[in-house]
Amino acid sequence: MPARGDNLDGYVLDNMEGAVDQAAFLARTDTPVAIVGARGTGKMYIARIFHSRAGCGPDTLVAIDCREFRNRDDANRRIRHALEMGAGKTLVFKSPQLMSAEAQLRLARQIATRQFVDVEPPTYLPPMRFVALFPDTLARLVAAGELQPRLASVFAAYPIRVPPMRHRQQAILRWAHKILDQECALRNVVVKGFTPEAEQALREHPWHGNISEIRQRVVHALERRPAGAWLTPVELQLALGSRARSAGLLSPLRRGDSEAPGYAPSALEELRQALADSLQHCIDGRQLLPLGGWLQDEVVLAALARYAGDARPAARFLQVPRRNLARWLPGIEQRRAARGACSEWVEPARLVTDWVRGLGQSGGGPLAQAETLLLELLEARREQTTVAQRAQLLGVSRPTYARRLLALGALPEAAASG
């Protein structure tokens, strides 16, 4: 357990099944440490425990967000700078599996040898500590081709596993009440708490998004509920039998190991399932909502949230000119009421935020990725819909829909069918 002097924000007497104790023990060594856990489990919190128990001040913990590296050269340059300035510090690499293979191998070599690469004469790194945060076990990331074996071996000695919230049942309500207090203070409102039914729903929900999902649901509930009221399962979108309770459980699996211990669906898998559910609801109810346009709106808003409202990095992340954001935002704001009024859209909107938060800078832009995801789901329902209906659901004209299909590599005749 953290000592009183640790003074770490958000702690709610949750020892995370030994992860806190393990971090405190390993802080006595200079061994590179891997902290493994699904999104939102509190990996960075454990890194701070490790750092503080080593007797280091908060200003000497340096988080290196590997999601933000645009390419190999950018990664190498920024890591080299961090190593040069790292004397007496703890370098925390967030999601290093997102770096290029060459950048991963270069980092592995420098940590293993404690020397700078490509320097003559050989020069040792200044004394520092190394921590890496991974979303899955090292073995699974290596097997999936995401993590280079050499970098995995550097951090493989004493990995700290942060269990998901569903394995920390005793802490769920403590986290929920802590987060509710924080968010009410931030908004200067008073909410009495959770109804007994809401507390029961909180305990039973699988929490694939972990602590982050608790915060998202509380924030959305506060946006719906006037101050002074009790929060119910309806506001939290946790009513028994709702899609919010089962989202992601039926989605295709990345590695075919849904029965493996510790498996949890990724944010993308959950988003795919939530979109599929919303799409099917629209088709069954003959309500052709512009889901494609709403999806693009949510991606833009999630990108801005990722960069605390700074349009410059958000535009770079979205791979669009910054002026486009200024042009799009009024329309996004105008559609906010329609998106918020649709109960079937609450879960996809939440999961877009989760998905965007975890994406790296490399690869296709998230707007294109999101549209492709929805287009694939629409085409899977060709026998239930016409091309015109699918175009309306994507939020584009029929000719534009045909062009998007061709760009996706679909057969030309698919665009003309229906």
Percent with pLDDT over 70 in the chain:
88
Under the banding of pLDDT at 50, 70 and 90, the label for residue 256 is very low
pLDDT given for residue 241 in this prediction: 46
Amino acid at 56: C
pLDDT(251) > 60: no
What would the pLDDT profile of 308-317 be if each residue is shown by its tens digit? 999 999 999 9
Are residue 311 and residue 394 in the same domain, yes or no?
A: yes
What would the pLDDT profile of 93-134 be if each residue is shown by its tens digit? 999 999 999 999 999 999 999 999 988 888 999 999 999 999
Contact (CB, 8 A) for 36 and 161: yes
pLDDT given for residue 179 in this prediction: 92
Average pLDDT, the chain: 87
pLDDT(2) > 80: no
Contact (CB, 8 A) for 260 and 277: no
What would the pLDDT profile of 227-240 be if each residue is shown by its tens digit? 778 999 988 988 65
What would the pLDDT profile of 135-147 be if each residue is shown by its tens digit? 999 999 999 999 9
Are residue 141 and residue 211 in the same domain, yes or no?
A: no
pLDDT given for residue 239 in this prediction: 62
Residue 113, domain CATH? 3.40.50.300
Domain of 175 in residue numbering reads as: 169-246
Are residue 242 and residue 372 in the same domain, yes or no?
A: no
Are residue 279 and residue 373 in the same domain, yes or no?
A: yes
For 367-387, what is the mean pLDDT?
94
DSSP type of residue 309: T
Higher pLDDT, 32 or 58: 32
Domain boundary among 104, 126, 161: 161
Pick from 286, 276, 192: which is nearest to 231 by CA? 192
In DSSP notation, 1-60 reads: ---GGG--TT--S--GGGHHHHHHHHTTS---EEEE--TTS-HHHHHHHHHHHTT--GGG
**Which positions ≥6 away from 363 have C-beta within 8 Å?**
369
Question: 94 pairs with which residues across the strands?
Answer: 65, 133
pTM for the full model?
Answer: 0.81
Contact (CB, 8 A) for 65 and 188: no
Are residue 33 and residue 123 in the same domain, yes or no?
A: yes
pLDDT(217) > 60: yes
Are residue 176 and residue 110 in the same domain, yes or no?
A: no
Domain boundary among 161, 177, 205: 161
In angstroms, rounded to a whole number, what is the distance separating the alpha carbons of residues 388 and 72?
A: 43
Domains held by the chain: number: 3
Are residue 211 and residue 114 in the same domain, yes or no?
A: no
pLDDT given for residue 265 in this prediction: 82
pLDDT given for residue 240 in this prediction: 52
Under the banding of pLDDT at 50, 70 and 90, the label for residue 87 is very high
Pick from 88, 17, 61, 67: which is nearest to 366 by CA? 67
What would the pLDDT profile of 385-417 be if each residue is shown by its tens digit? 999 999 999 999 999 999 988 888 754 444 444
pLDDT given for residue 7 in this prediction: 40
